[in-house]
Structure 1
């Protein structure tokens, strides 16, 4: 039993895999594969008329004239209605023409005439399988195995049907019988591996794939499935090795390239993923999704121009593809083209899987442009549609606060806390809002409630400590809080900034400088940390460095307070 023959006659066997998880795929058989490989032999023991018509049929078939050949084969059957051979031959030809029911009747008639006709049972089994009469198909294949066990392909047909019915034990039994019959063949081992993969018995699946590869070291499908097993069992390096081996066998293999690229993304090697997907694209046979993946890799690398360059033409070609629209809008947003991004996000409709995220982005862009009321309208609409998403209440409150309506901002969070009284993030948002509105007493009280629940929350510890420093009160308590926060998160730029600002408040400018330099190393583009550094340098008499820090701060965010400090440095 050769692998090429098996591949030709299998019903495109039962199990296929997507990028992330196994699933069963059932395909219709190509009935003509087995029965029309060679020119039809001349039937024996038929009437002279049937022989005459069959000869013309053979000639027309050789000349590739299917309609005419069917007509003469029908005449041959009519001339010799007792010939099972002629009926099966006609059934096979009719299947190619899509006349399934007529072919089925002919095969059933042929079996009445000749119950041992293996070809009739094969064709009939295929017809039953394609028309969802699986039990009938199984009966035909089992009858063939009982009468003609040398037909190895039928074992695979039968196993595939059992597997499609999720009768895996029976499928395994059939394949093991075939393995005993064909001990030197890799194919039964391979399909045993496929079934065990479907059952998520990955160790057994790996065993059978390895056994198949011992029989045939170049068995591509077994090697590919072994790579998937490594992925399923989180052995990424071994999976990468497999796909690299496959690409040495088939340098332009799409499946192996796509899996390899995905693995490089998974392990954070986006540069290698970019090379693989670029190579895949150059084959000219890459699916649409590869272009999108290439764009996303460029996006992750911060190469927004390249990402947009791929996505814009794709969007023009496929304007209804929401995924492309969303990613193009995201890339434009990253490039600062807010109006174009907002327009694209607004194109995505409620039925889309990308709708919610698109609306969130749209509200954020409106907030960034100072169009708070439009942003509020979007988020209020989302709250009605997704009332259990607490992040929406926080966003809505922020929009109200930035629009100048602090009272409404507080009301939104308090209303949300009635429904979600223990939501940590909502409580934190309320405490932070009180701080923004200048109600430090309520802010600290709210944050203290969070500390009761989680005394090791570094963010809350830092928040209270920094607030004390800003107010210039309870500096010793502030130091305790900030030091504890720093012990929990020693590399946090914001907590290092709080400690530096505490020493600044205490007049210890050298200590302040040390902490603030460590903070700016962690977060080099935070305008507040840069401002604090400028203040320390000014106190230390280093005006040029103070000027540099204020300028850097203003470049990131325009603040009148910082501009005034910069202007003051010009005075003698």
Structure 2
């Protein structure tokens, strides 16, 4: 039997538990009187989570040697693993009765009492422990269990006992900080967290708690400092740069946000959520081509992601790639015809590209499904304006305002076109003033207001208003044309010429000669007698 016991023992030491069970079992079969080997075998079976067999063997050991404390201790552990704490407690109490100086058992017993909510007994048990480090640990575990059972006062008292015994127990300070923060005592929480950091500056759990506390209390820069520390301590952990990036995004510090999001993608290239955030940050910085590059990567992964397609369409439009923008919007509509805005975006893209017949087709299709959509009617009014169909334009603008009375763009567009025609000028003035009240400081609406004044013959008022519009939108050729007209009407010919020439210059630089180009050329010819 000794031979098989040694084989089992060596197998257990080397981690070959199956062989250990086999060899110990041979000893148990051969010797019906050995409590020791039964306990040894029960311990291996416990490691293998074969708890019922382990319990049977431990009880057999105790039937052979009723005062065998090692078997009692093992059986208590097995019963606790089976969620039978009251039986385990009874056994631990027997062990302590036999071994009153066994502080390890007192620690286990105090933890068991605490887990069942018997905090008084848990405290009494650990208080009798002579080993100060074990005693401090015992109070700490009581505090943890009390926290889990929402016994905040018991937990706080236990944690404070633990640090009275062992002032270097940083985990107790951490929990005290959590409890204080839960009660809204943020300054006290910060104090506890900082004490824990003094003990262990690399305790990432404490740093994370401090970071969140600083975020919750509006101390953003301090939160950033904590996340920077976490990044330095855990360079392969993508969570700190994730948090930092989002913090910077909320602060509109897009360059720093993008840098953090790139760190995330170095660690986790397949994280499409944070690739999307990177694209948003780049877009905010007007780095449109770089943003588009990120969306294209996402699109390769999921070609039916509507959020990605929508942003691709927008960026292609900004980059004057109308054909590709149209492809993105067409794909969106092919995926779902339940979103009216997709029809609007595609139609406006076609209008911007001069593909009016395509825009009309899309708008007709869209209005069949969404006749009650204000933005669809507004876009249809733009189509009719470009097609020179004034009455149809007015009809759709009025329909827009019937659906959305506070549609500032529709008010401005209708008022401006009335002014262009020189009709309904009082109505035009009311419409544009209402539009400007909804969007104060808008340069284009301010231009419309100045143009109405001009058409009403109020040239000085028009000049003042158009100067204001030009101050808001510096290089718009139409605003400059209007401003030149107002200067001429107030007998300031040099300024009129200067404004018109600037209007033509901008259109040439843009590579787009708007409808005003020929008009301005004629005005300059008439005024100066020179061709351009």
TM-score normalised to the size of structure 1? 0.63
CA separation of 1:275/1:384 partners in 2, compared to 1, >3 Å: closer, same or farther?
same
- String of CA shifts for 1:147-170, please: whole Å, max 9, x gaps: 66882323565xxxxxxxxxxxxx
- CA shift, 1:499, in A, is 2.6
1:139-538 matched pairs, under 5 angstroms: 140-145=84-89, 151-155=109-113, 174-175=116-117, 177-178=118-119, 182=123, 191=145, 194=148, 218-224=172-178, 227=181, 229=182, 242=189, 246-247=193-194, 249-250=196-197, 251-255=201-205, 257-258=207-208, 274-285=224-235, 287-295=237-245, 315=265, 318-330=268-280, 341-349=291-299, 352=302, 355-516=305-466, 536=486
- CA shift, 1:252, in A, is 4.3
Contact 1:444 1:464 in 2 (8 A): yes
- String of CA shifts for 1:398-448, please: whole Å, max 9, x gaps: 223233332332332333333334334434443444445443433332232
The answer to whether the aligner puts 1:124 opposite 2:78 as a matched pair is yes
- String of CA shifts for 1:241-263, please: whole Å, max 9, x gaps: 84586245325444555566567
- String of CA shifts for 1:449-501, please: whole Å, max 9, x gaps: 34334434444433432332343321111122233334445455554443333
CA separation of 1:93/1:328 partners in 2, compared to 1, >3 Å: closer, same or farther?
same
User: For 2:223 and 2:343, how far apart are their aligned partners in 1?
Assistant: 38
Matched position secondary structure for 1:560: coil
Contact 2:316 2:322 in 1 (8 A): yes
User: For 1:441 and 1:545, how far apart are their aligned partners in 2?
Assistant: 36
Higher RCO, 1 vs 2 (CA within 8 Å, ≥6 residues apart): 1
User: For 1:522 and 1:125, how far apart are their aligned partners in 2?
Assistant: 78
- CA shift, 1:220, in A, is 0.8
Matched position secondary structure for 1:100: coil
- String of CA shifts for 1:303-353, please: whole Å, max 9, x gaps: 666666555576466443323544455555566665565454233257759
1:5-44 matched pairs, under 5 angstroms: none
User: For 1:451 and 1:550, how far apart are their aligned partners in 2?
Assistant: 32
Q: Paired residue for 2:57? A: 109
Q: Which structure is larger by alpha-carbon Rg, 1 or 2?
A: 2
CA separation of 1:530/1:78 partners in 2, compared to 1, >3 Å: closer, same or farther?
farther
Count how many residue pairs are aligned between Structure 1 and Structure 2: 476
CA separation of 1:245/1:50 partners in 2, compared to 1, >3 Å: closer, same or farther?
same
**More deviation, 522-531/252-261:** 522-531
Q: Paired residue for 1:134? A: none
Which is richer in helix? 2
- String of CA shifts for 1:495-523, please: whole Å, max 9, x gaps: 44433333233343443455456556766
Contact 2:122 2:142 in 1 (8 A): no
Report the aligned-residue RMSD.
Answer: 5.1
TM-score normalised to the size of structure 2? 0.67
Q: Paired residue for 2:132? A: none
User: For 1:357 and 1:472, how far apart are their aligned partners in 2?
Assistant: 44
- CA shift, 1:110, in A, is 1.8
User: For 1:248 and 1:555, how far apart are their aligned partners in 2?
Assistant: 67
CA separation of 1:353/1:506 partners in 2, compared to 1, >3 Å: closer, same or farther?
same
Matched position secondary structure for 1:388: coil
Unaligned runs of 5+ in 2: 94-105, 128-138, 164-171
Unaligned runs of 5+ in 1: 1-48, 128-136, 158-173, 197-204
Matched position secondary structure for 1:422: coil
* Selected match of 1:560 from 502, 510, 513: 513
User: For 1:547 and 1:271, how far apart are their aligned partners in 2?
Assistant: 50
User: For 2:388 and 2:253, how far apart are their aligned partners in 1?
Assistant: 41
